[in-house]
Chains A and B, each alone.
Chain A
Amino acid sequence: MTTLRLGWALLRKDLAIAVRTREVAGLLMLFALLCAVVFAFGFLRQGRAAHEQLPGVLWVTLLFTNTLGLLRLFAPDEEAGALPQVVRSIAGPAPLFWSKAALQLCFSALICAFLAPVVALFLDARVAQPQWVALALALGLVGQALCGALCAGLLTQVRLREVLLPLVLYPLTAPLLLGGVQVAALAMDGAQLAEMQGWLMLMVGFDLLAVVLCPWLFGRASA
């Protein structure tokens, strides 16, 4: 209960800062938009957008934007010099981990809700079964938030962490990217759930693994 209470308090504090300043979310959305525009330029063929590139553009843009968000995830506590105290709080490092993972999930869900229609518009793509794309995005964002919070938290005191974070995070979250892109591609073609089930189960498996391992590893490595 202490973990939950402390985690909720930390999350409320971070959300209050985010809402009051409106800096990080706004800048991340702008970056996501810019990234989508750059990708759309990259896939133009004789002046026409390549709509079949939608899954790749959407997921890679999300990955890049999430990476930028993760680099700022622990910054408020770090700049205030409060990180060591929060880690050594009464309930250990677990509340900090869960609050940061939840905060990252909030940010990435917001960006995703804004980005997905924009990318579909830019690439002139129509998705036959958007509900499965939404499910895959939800699963992907949960896994990325958990792994991202772990990696960002561990790298807070490390030199060149801006370079190291993507180096570590991208291969670790590769199953989510593979699954998400495949589900989106199948949903665009109007495939049935049975065809996507394997990929969705893979993403569920990854999320379960992340739910169990990431908080434990965060606790052991920051103890």
Chain B
Amino acid sequence: MASSRPARALPTALGVSFLWLCAAIAWVLWATPADEALGIVQKIFYIHVGSAFAMLLCLVAASGAAAVDLLSPSPPVDAFGRACTEVGLLFALVVLTSGPLWARKSWGAWWTWEPRLTLTLLATLLAAAVLAVRAMAGSAGGRRIGNALAVLAGPTSYLIHIAVQKWGGTHPQVIQGGGIQSPAMRVAFWACVAGLLGVAFALVALRARTLRLADCLAALQLDRQAATLRQQRAAMAGATDGQWAVS
């Protein structure tokens, strides 16, 4: 019974986070003022920034989990790392979709080689590559190879960040630059961030649990196949002994 508690709690947590996020978006749409310069397009920020936070947290956690799993292999840590990579990739896609929508209105172009955009794109490509390698390499090999690449991806992403920062950029500084002036906007912004992070954490926990269960199931199936093979071998050995006894 104890094992069924998290099974019920995790979907509930996801549902609560999702409802919170929906309420926050409704608050953004109806209760926050529109930006004077950008109009309604500015409201993309409420989703975009929170998704970027979730992406960053998930990918950093994935890299850390990969390092821990390489040092001392542990199936739950591996499942957590895989789940973080998958959810990080999902939020990266949200960031890469919402960013250009805002950029078209603000910068007049769907895409520019701006530092944060470039870093996000390369981090997304790295996460997708790690997942592709894991899928192609099978269970045991894929785990080690995927973890090694995920560990290398962490510091490399930081170097990419330094590299693209040297270009200089025009990305707005929403948090550090004091971009949110109105109190209503500030409340709605942090409510959206909380909702998106809640959804991200719940998705990671659910996905990690699903991956662990899938691994357990695969191990059980292997055990069952091994037991069947042992039975068949014993039956064949018994039949051969019988033949010898008759002859």
B70–A217 CB distance below 8 A: yes
B5 interfacial contact with A, CB 8 Å: no
Q: Which of A118-167 contact B (CB under 8 A)?
A: 147, 150-151, 154-155, 157-161, 164, 167
Stretch at the interface among A4-12, A42-50, A169-177: A169-177
Q: Which of B125-142 contact A (CB under 8 A)?
A: 125-126, 128-130, 132-133, 136-137, 141-142
Given known contacts A150-B152, A179-B163, A160 and B144 CB-to-CB distance under 8 angstroms: no
Measured in the bound complex, the distance between the Cα atoms of B166 and A198 in whole Å is 8
Q: Which of A159, A160, A182, A221 contacts B148 (CB 8 A)?
A: A221
Distance to closest chain B CB from A25 (angstroms): 28
Measured in the bound complex, the distance between the Cα atoms of B151 and A214 in whole Å is 10
Given known contacts A168-B133, A171-B122, A171-B126, A154 and B149 CB-to-CB distance under 8 angstroms: yes
Size bracket of the A interface = 20 to 34
Q: Which of B16-57 contact A (CB under 8 A)?
A: none
B155–A213 CB distance below 8 A: yes
A178 interfacial contact with B, CB 8 Å: yes
A158–B152 CB distance below 8 A: no
Given known contacts A155-B145, A175-B160, A213 and B153 CB-to-CB distance under 8 angstroms: no
Distance to closest chain A CB from B160 (angstroms): 5
A178–B136 CB distance below 8 A: no
Q: How many residues of B contact A (CB 8 A)?
A: 30
Given known contacts A168-B129, A171-B126, A202-B163, A213 and B152 CB-to-CB distance under 8 angstroms: yes
Distance to closest chain A CB from B170 (angstroms): 18
Task: Give the interface centre of B130, B147, B152 by most chain A CB atoms within 10 Å.
Answer: B152
- Chosen A-B contacts, 15 in total, with CB atoms closer than 8 Å, are A151-B149, A154-B145, A155-B137, A158-B141, A158-B145, A167-B129, A172-B152, A175-B163, A178-B163, A202-B163, A205-B159, A214-B152, A217-B151, A220-B70, A221-B144
> What is A's interface to B at a CB cutoff of 8 Å?
147, 150-151, 154-155, 157-161, 164, 167-168, 170-172, 174-175, 178-179, 182, 198-199, 202, 205-206, 209, 213-214, 217-218, 220-222
> What is B's interface to A at a CB cutoff of 8 Å?
70-71, 122, 125-126, 128-130, 132-133, 136-137, 141-142, 144-145, 147-149, 151-153, 155-156, 159-160, 162-164, 166
